[in-house]
Amino acid sequence: MNFGSINIKGAGGAGKAMGIRGMVMKYNLSFLDIQETQFRDLPLNKIRRFWDNTGFEYSKMDADGRSGGLLSMWNPCVFNKDLEEKNQNYIIVKGRITREDVDLVIVNIYGSTLKANRRRMWEELLAAKNSISGHWILLGDFNEVRFLEDRFNSVFDDAAMCFNIFISKGGFQEYNMGGMKYTFLSGDGTNLSKIDRVLVCDNFMGKWTNASLLALNREISYHSPLILTTVNNSFGPSPFRLFNSWFSLSGFDEAVKRGLSKNCDSRFMDEVVAVKLKAIKDELKQWQKK
């Protein structure tokens, strides 16, 4: 099951909807969380534009004036909803993955810009976690950083302490994030921070140990879309055994170069690569024996 999350900074405009729709199709998303729709009453015809041509279900929370607004969407063939709870800053959706005996609790989060409101939200979410069983995953714009290195060219404050206490008490963890180090760029282009993130409980991490988290380029808004995939991408066995320690040994570079110099007259580039990989393998075998 693949998850996506993005702070869209306003759901108006066909360009944003087209970009997110393309992301849903490209990464085969089964669940999508959108923050800051900035709509008081987001109509169904606009919601539909964010998804591909397959069926979907959704839950939304209206914006407070032009601030906030949440939208969660999912594929009902993959995820069956049992219950939901929501307020101005989060949507909790609990359900079950089809064909798997796994209960998921998925939380779409938009953290308030006010510290007091965020602290109240952490308390509410901890209470909800104690009362709603399942594999928890929180996605969205937390409006918080955890560490000093999560900010660039901006002030680090003590609010991170409350956020880290919430993470510790809730038993949440994070996957290593690839792609971008910072997820948010300020409007004037001077400040960077990692305020968009994905938190998962121990059970989630234990079940999908090899899940991968990717922060995409900021093309739809000032926030990076986040993609979490639990699919185990296996490309089969490696072409040949290779140890990092070999790189510093005498003769290694020369063996690789001899393999690369192997000629292949095929016009198919994949066949050329295969021939050269086999040649490198053979040369390394001979080098290793010597």
Q: Say which residues have a Cβ less than 8 Å from residue 250's Cβ, sequence separation at least 6.
A: none
Domain ranges of the chain: 2-229, 244-289
CA dist 103 and 127 (Å) reads 18
- DSSP assignment of 49-112, as one string? TTS-SS--EEEEE--BTTB--EEEEE-TTTEEEEEEEEETTEEEEEEEETTS--EEEEEEEE--
Q: Yes or no: is domain 2-229 CATH 3.60.10.10? A: yes
Per-residue model confidence (pLDDT) at position 48 = 94
Q: Say which residues have a Cβ less than 8 Å from residue 251's Cβ, sequence separation at least 6.
A: 287, 290
pLDDT band for position 151 (cuts 50, 70, 90): confident
Per-residue model confidence (pLDDT) at position 241 = 76
pTM of the model: 0.79
Per-residue model confidence (pLDDT) at position 264 = 84
Per-residue model confidence (pLDDT) at position 267 = 76
- Determine what percent of the chain is predicted with pLDDT higher than 90: 70
Measured CA to CA in angstroms, residue 251 lies from 49, 69, 243, 256, 290 at distances of 58, 61, 14, 9, 10
pLDDT band for position 148 (cuts 50, 70, 90): confident
71: nearest Cα among 99, 43, 102: 43
Per-residue model confidence (pLDDT) at position 268 = 78
Helix axes 252-260, 269-289, angle to 10 degrees: 150
CA dist 247 and 287 (Å) reads 12
- Average pLDDT on 210-224 reads 93
What's the pLDDT tens digit per position in 67-93?
A: 899 999 999 999 999 999 999 999 999
Q: Which residue has the higher pLDDT, 71 or 11?
A: 71
Per-residue model confidence (pLDDT) at position 237 = 64
pLDDT at 14 over 90: no
Per-residue model confidence (pLDDT) at position 81 = 96
pLDDT at 236 over 60: no
Phi, psi of 65 (to 5 degrees): 70, -120
Per-residue model confidence (pLDDT) at position 186 = 85
91: nearest Cα among 104, 115, 108: 108
- Average pLDDT on 178-201 reads 91
Alpha helices by DSSP H, listed for 115-268, are 115-131, 159-170, 202-207, 252-260
Per-residue model confidence (pLDDT) at position 238 = 66
pLDDT at 234 over 80: no
pLDDT band for position 244 (cuts 50, 70, 90): confident
pLDDT at 235 over 80: no
